[in-house]
Amino acid sequence: AQSVTQLGSHVSVSEGALVLLRCNYSSSVPPYLFWYVQYPNQGLQLLLKYTSAATLVKGINGFEAEFKKSETSFHLTKPSAHMSDAAEYFCAVRGSGNTPLVFGKGTRLSVIA
């Protein structure tokens, strides 16, 4: 069965510091991987997706993620955090067969001035 583990339910960084949000997955089929962001009182917005093309995927708002098959990881990074990045971030992997995406439990990012 497909699964996603996001390490750290809460990550806190200083403004201008590197953002690193961790995602490990388990998949019995070639993985399609996604990162979503959720701002307070809003729905989820797609940040980026990996669909077996380039292993380094660039997304919106300066975020990027690297697919590492050997580590079954798809960590999200941003070189310099901004206050506006404070939100909850979800990693997701496609389901097996005819099942929907499987989401991680989310990581809340706080940015300290």
Return the number of the residue (14 or 55) whose C-beta is nearest another protein: 55
Six-digit token pair at 57?
Answer: 């995927």
Residues of this chain that interact with another protein (CB under 8 A) are 9, 32, 34, 36, 41-46, 49, 51, 90, 94-95, 98-101, 103-106
Spatial distance between the Cα atoms of 32 and 85, rounded to a whole number of angstroms: 24
Task: Report the 10 Å Cβ neighbour count for 17.
Answer: 14
Return the number of the residue (61 or 99) whose C-beta is nearest another protein: 99
Q: 33 to each of 15, 22, 45, how far by Cα in Å?
A: 27, 13, 14
Return the number of the residue (12 or 96) whose C-beta is nearest another protein: 96
CB of residue 104 vs another protein: minimum separation in angstroms?
7
